[in-house]
Amino acid sequence: MRNKNFLTKFLVTYPSIPSHALWRAIEAKLLSEEHFEYPLLDLGCGDGIFAKILFGDKSGEIIGCDVSRGCVKAANNQRTT
């Protein structure tokens, strides 16, 4: 995975919650060092922003699953933006 500035991307996404942005950036950095086979199943996908930032253009090859229908709808919208 190419080197990304995850902290900047998460700070832009969560400007009012810098501690959350830092935590998500650390998670993304660690996961970016792993190799993933596509398609992926993202259990607990939430709004899909994390996968979009982590996987970038590969986010279309990820199937999201969450207990919240609203989150799944939001994650699906992330794929088209």
Are 21 and 50 within one domain?
no
- Domain match, 80 and 45 both: yes
| Helices within 1-81 (DSSP H only) | 6-13, 18-32, 49-55, 69-80
Whether residues 9 and 27 fall in one domain = yes
Tell me, yes or no, whether 47 and 80 share the same domain: yes
Domain that holds residue 24: 1-35
The pLDDT tens digits along the chain (81 residues) read 555 799 999 999 999 999 999 999 999 999 999 999 999 999 999 999 999 999 887 767 888 899 999 988 888 887 666
Residues 56 and 17 in one domain: no
Report d(CA 28, CA 23) in Å as an integer.
9
| Residue 41 and residue 59 in one domain | yes
| CA atoms of 81 and 78, how far apart (whole Å) | 5
| Report field, pTM of the whole predicted structure over 0.85 | no
Rg (CA), the chain: 12
Q: Note whether 48 and 78 are same-domain residues.
A: yes
The answer on 13 and 30 residing in a single domain is yes
